[in-house]
Amino acid sequence: MEWTDVLNRIAAGEDQFTEFKPHFRDKDKVGKTICAFANTEGGLVVLGVSDARQVIGVAEDSEQVQERLTSFLQTGCSSPVSARLGRHEDPGGWIHWIEVPRQRGFEPMRYDSRVWVRRGRSTVEPSPSELQDLYNLFGYILTEERAIEAASSGDIDFGTFRAFLRQLGIETTEGPQPHADDDLRNRSVLVDVGGQLRPTLYGVLAFGAEPQRYPQTANFRIECAAYAGADRAAPPLVVTGATGRLDEQLTRALAWFQTLGRFETYRELLRTDRYLLPIEALREALTNAVAHRDYAITGSKIQLDVFEDSAELTSPGSLPNHMTPDSVRAGGSARSRNESIANYLLTMRFMEQRARGWPLMRAAMRDFNGTEPELDHDADARFVRVTFRLGGTSQ
């Protein structure tokens, strides 16, 4: 881009493709803007110009600024930025510009471990749906074996992993033990990426110290909400996010549901305290949602919604491996989209591999209030929903 082109952009003012900065000392603001331009349609960052379009120049040595900009483009973001640099000495001082083209790689670019996009004249973080569209645009398909490249082997809680091995019946203290990294790699917790060991999605969700800290995994949690009405149009009463590792999410979601209250039933002279639903039915539904959700849908959460007469559990993705609603209701052969996650939950005693999930839920609900769970599968909208009816409690 020539200086005359830059002057025209300055005269036109800031917009979706142009951003002015007075200097490069505030590297964070420049870095976010470069990242946002790279992730969307590209753009021009001009240094030495005020928001009011006044050319004020960059006071620092011109050569040093160019060197710092070159270094930043190589190392400042999650991957190198293929931008073009320019400069011009104006009577007001040196003007530098960075012409950032639209970038496409494995996944969206990050600055300071966060994804940024351009929305009008603003640099912002994308919403969950925008982030999903962005990952889809980049062709990034996240499966349980895929590396989370923003994480490192040090982000795995090795104590939690060793406890898992003990659940498997593997001795972890006596005799010669494999090197920790070798053990983690052999069990698909770590994978080699360009000579560096990175945690897999399975590794982060099952053994990560902070599973939701990465852009790709921020919404891999259970959103719990209770409403004062029959649907989501009603005011929410209690809302929480069940976060953490997979076992922690399940435990926290169940604990939250139990705080919603209990009621008393009597059979002859004996009193029984019951929750709003049989815990074994809800536990089965939650475990299946965590085990079988489509983790390629990065912008969506599992949702547990409790209304005045029902509870709904919605999981992102369609039914796995060609299963149909009829085969689920019939208790068809067990199939999993995420084998490592399913095996982890099996080992941790949250689930079994006998395809008894739906029959167990149905039996529990029939005994509880004479109703059956309902299954809604929308392959186009990509969700699976299980609905439990709260009313009609039998005595």
User: In CATH, what number is assigned to the domain containing residue 325?
Assistant: 3.30.565.60
Domain end call among 125, 141, 175: 125
Q: How far apart are CA 341 and CA 167, in angstroms?
A: 15
Let me know whether 73 and 175 are in one domain.
no
Rg (C-alpha) for the chain, rounded Å, is 27
Instruction: Copy the structure tokens of residue 25.
Output: 């000392």
Q: Which of 69, 62, 109 is nearest to 87 (CA)?
A: 62
Q: What is the distance between the alpha carbons of residues 210 and 244, in angstroms, rounded to a whole number?
A: 7
Query: Do both 174 and 268 map to the same domain?
Result: no
Q: Is residue 136 part of a domain?
A: no
Q: Is residue 357 part of a domain?
A: yes
Q: Which domain CATH number covers 10? A: 3.30.950.30
Q: Are residues 303 and 199 in the same domain?
A: no
Assess whether 46 and 159 both reside in one domain. Answer: no
In terms of residues, how long is the chain?
395
The residue segments making up the domain with residue 60 are 3-125
Q: What is the pLDDT of residue 138?
A: 79
Of 291, 284, 351, which Cα lies nearest the Cα of 321? 291
Please count the structural domains in the chain: 3
Instruction: Please report the pLDDT score of residue 394 as a whole number.
Output: 45
Residues 293 and 377 in one domain: yes
**pLDDT, position 392:** 54
- Is 26 in the same domain as 170? no
Secondary structure in 3-state letters for 215-235: CCCCCCCEEEEEECCCCCCCC
Q: For residue 331, how far is the Cα from the chain centroid?
A: 30
What is the distance between the alpha carbons of residues 315 and 381, in angstroms, rounded to a whole number?
Answer: 11
Predicted local distance difference test score (pLDDT) of residue 261: 82
Are 225 and 305 in contact, with CB atoms under 8 Å apart? yes
The per-residue pLDDT for 33 is 96
Domain membership flag for residue 203: yes
From first to last of its 395 residues, the chain has per-residue pLDDT tens of 899 999 999 999 999 999 999 988 878 999 999 999 999 999 999 999 998 999 999 988 999 999 999 999 999 998 899 999 999 998 888 999 999 999 877 788 999 888 999 999 999 998 877 887 787 777 777 899 999 988 999 999 999 999 999 999 988 777 777 788 899 999 999 999 888 999 999 999 999 999 999 888 999 999 999 999 999 999 999 999 999 999 999 999 999 999 998 765 556 656 566 889 999 999 999 999 999 999 988 778 999 999 999 999 999 988 876 678 887 887 766 667 899 999 999 999 998 766 688 899 999 999 999 999 999 998 777 899 999 999 754 44
Q: Do 200 and 311 share a domain, yes or no? A: no
Inside any domain, residue 217: no
DSSP H helical segments within the chain, as ranges?
3-12, 27-39, 62-75, 128-138, 158-167, 180-186, 201-207, 246-258, 279-292, 325-329, 339-347, 357-369
Tell me: do 92 and 199 sit in the same domain: no
Q: Please indicate, yes or no, if residue 130 is contained in any of the structural domains.
A: no
Instruction: Give the pLDDT score at 355.
Output: 67
Contacts 24+ apart (CB under 8 A), 255-264: 256/224, 257/224, 257/282, 257/304, 257/306, 257/311, 260/226, 260/306, 263/393
Position 395 scores a pLDDT of: 43
Whether the CB-CB separation of 337 and 294 falls below 8 Å is answered with yes
Residue 142 within a domain? no
Shared domain for 244 and 382, answered yes or no, is yes
Whether 243 is covered by a domain: the verdict is yes
Q: Are residues 320 and 174 in the same domain?
A: no
194 and 116 within one domain: no
Residue 358 lies in a domain: yes
Are both 363 and 234 inside the same structural domain?
yes
pLDDT value of residue 262: 75
